[in-house]
Chain A
């Protein structure tokens, strides 16, 4: 498994291709990519992502290791960016590899649910009107319940 917290962009195609071809015993590869979404009514200039150096890497490593164990994954990859991103830029990706698709899909959802509310990242949207910290959503917290 690999976890990366970085400010640099990543090459989605290359990451997925490398991940998907690394092992011949994995029949299912699931990937999810998070992209900075523009705001229709108040165009977004920048999405700024703050993190907690040290704790962020540890939290991602711990939740990825839990996913590998719980869903019997052959491999897992999490890349999450921080810093200033523009609309259309990729924020993050997860990839999971398992012998069969159900485990790969479920592990990707598990990782996304945990990333949303347990990894120390904070998003701030900057528009011509000013800046706003993105508020956590109740449903993101509730989404964790199904895994407990």
Chain B
């Protein structure tokens, strides 16, 4: 699936997007897989309360199922307007 990062999450990880081969069943499991990769991922996902997630471009929760999902995005709370 495609995994996208925005704002300081993108800066910490050093990538705007990547394709991830994953067996994760939920967003939380995907986060655990990413955290285990490298320190920069562990740093980006250190505090999940400071993050938001969208699944196939809809705001979602971290326990959302990834069944059939093509795109997951991680970002800080939005600051529009």
> A residues touching B (Cβ–Cβ < 8 Å)?
34, 50, 52, 54-55, 58-59, 80, 91-92, 112, 115-124, 133-136, 141
Contact = CB atoms under 8 A, between A and B. Distances in A.
Interface of B: 4, 6-8, 54, 57-59, 73, 75-81
A52 B73 contact: yes
A119 B78 CA distance: 6
A117 B76 CA distance: 10
A125 to B, nearest CB: 10
A54 B77 CA distance: 18
A144 to B, nearest CB: 12
A93 B64 CA distance: 33
Q: Which 5 A-B pairs have the closest CB atoms?
A: A136-B77, A121-B80, A122-B7, A55-B57, A119-B80
Contacts of A120: 6, 54, 73, 75, 78, 80
Nearest to B54: A55
Contacts of B73: 52, 55, 120
Nearest to A141: B77
A118 B4 contact: no
A23 B49 CA distance: 45
B4 A52 contact: yes
A25 to B, nearest CB: 29
A143 B75 CA distance: 21
